[in-house]
């Protein structure tokens, strides 16, 4: 994923969170690195 793709994904997640929880002020999003590594590994076998 490119930097702009990552930015877009984070922005979209923020919009979904604010739509569901309008009072949310600060949101911390953390990538699940371990899950991403497993997904990449699994994708090699497809």
- Can you read off the two tokens belonging to residue 41? 């590994």
> What's the whole-model pTM score?
0.57
pLDDT single digits (tens) 1-46: 777 888 888 899 989 999 999 998 888 877 766 666 666 666 666 5
Q: What share of the chain is helix, strand, coil (3-state, %, to 5)?
A: 65, 0, 35
């Amino acid at each position: 994923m490119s930097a702009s793709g990552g930015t877009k994904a984070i922005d979209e997640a923020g919009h979904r969170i604010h739509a569901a929880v309008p009072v949310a002020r600060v949101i911390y999003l953390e990538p699940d690195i371990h899950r991403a590594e497993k997904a990449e590994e699994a994708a090699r076998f497809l």
